[in-house]
Amino acid sequence: MVLPERVERSFWIDGDRLRSEPVQGAELVVDGGWLLPGLVDVHTHPGTESRDSPFDDGVLRKHLVEHRDAGVLLVRTPGTAARMPGWVDEDPELPRVRSAGRWLATPGRFFPGFGRDVGEEELVRAAVEEAEASAGWCKVIGDWRWGEPPVPQAVLTAAVEAVHAAGGKVAVHCQTAEGCRNAVVAGADSLEHGMHLEADLLDRMAAQGTALVPTLSVFAAGAGPRRAGERTAARDAWLAGWEASPGNARAAYEAGVTVLAGTDSLPCGTVAGEAAWLVRAGLPAEAAVGAASWSARSWLGLPGLVEGAPADLVAFDVDPTVIPEALAHPSRVILRGRVVA
């Protein structure tokens, strides 16, 4: 059974492409079960394991293999400590990658030296440069600490307009109400995290196609330590934002906003846990699974399971839209036409 269409269909693989007609000499690798387009993590940062460790090719490969073995066959990397090396796209053993160059951080708005530090007056040029040097995306740190101003609205708007004019797209890190508002009004293509996102922005997001990547699982993991920490205004604001985040994700979905699954955490290959959090937030199970599969692939410009599509697919013994926890346990993983797990 093929998802999301819920129809019985047979596929053959010809090289790295799916075919609906028999291919001579084909070997049966999946018989029955449920077929999904390869899973997708739209917010992951492979290549480094801490702010104190440099971007490393060996670590990058390790992280991408972790994604692949879990059935995550397409990743978007919205910001890394270095531009994605060219060998990643050439390696048939690794997931397909949509990179966004280095994080773009204006003064005081990120970990110093971890991304590309630029002045506000340089942001427009830098955003275009990173988009053109990557897979067409760039990532702007739109805000940082609570109680401190985000990137000015006019500056962020100019950056988004310049990247769009160059044919690229912009992801914006935002966790404060003002930062979220600036990103939406600027016309950003995606809000990363969206903590403190206000409900009156949702219709505009839906109308202009701004997606929300709420990264619920990483916030859920950090909530306990935050609650146990010293009570400060920043800590209380963070917790308030986290407590509202699942409801925001549900409200965004109900308003017609594209809500997608991104982990923003280690280990890699855990997007099934993010999909589970979307279900817990109140999204229908099919929408949550789609956020980590067919919906995310379509949003990133790749087709699902259709004639001539890339042969990137995962098989399951049970329907993951009925039993979402099954998403973490594919029975087969096929990347570029080859069985890899």
Per-residue pLDDT band at 51 (split at 50, 70, 90): confident
Mean of all residue pLDDT scores within the chain: 96
Taking the C-alpha atoms of residue 51 and residue 119, their distance in angstroms, rounded to an integer, is 21
Under CATH, which architecture does the 34-304 domain have?
Alpha-Beta Barrel (3.20)
Nearest alpha-carbon partner for 137 in 95, 75, 180, 193? 75
188-219 pLDDT per residue, tens: 999 999 999 999 999 999 999 999 999 999 99
Question: Where is 243: in which H helix or E strand?
Answer: helix 233-254
Taking the C-alpha atoms of residue 194 and residue 152, their distance in angstroms, rounded to an integer, is 17
Per-residue pLDDT band at 315 (split at 50, 70, 90): very high
Assigned token pair, 128:
């275009």
Structure pTM? 0.97
Taking the C-alpha atoms of residue 58 and residue 282, their distance in angstroms, rounded to an integer, is 38
Phi, psi values for residue 135, rounded to 5°: -90, 20
Q: What is the pLDDT of residue 52?
A: 84
Domain boundaries, the chain: 34-304
Mean pLDDT of 31-46: 97
115-147 pLDDT per residue, tens: 999 999 999 999 999 999 999 999 999 999 999
Q: What does the angle CA 131 – CA 137 – CA 138 come to, to the nearest 5 degrees?
A: 70
Taking the C-alpha atoms of residue 288 and residue 241, their distance in angstroms, rounded to an integer, is 21
Q: What is the pLDDT of residue 20?
A: 93
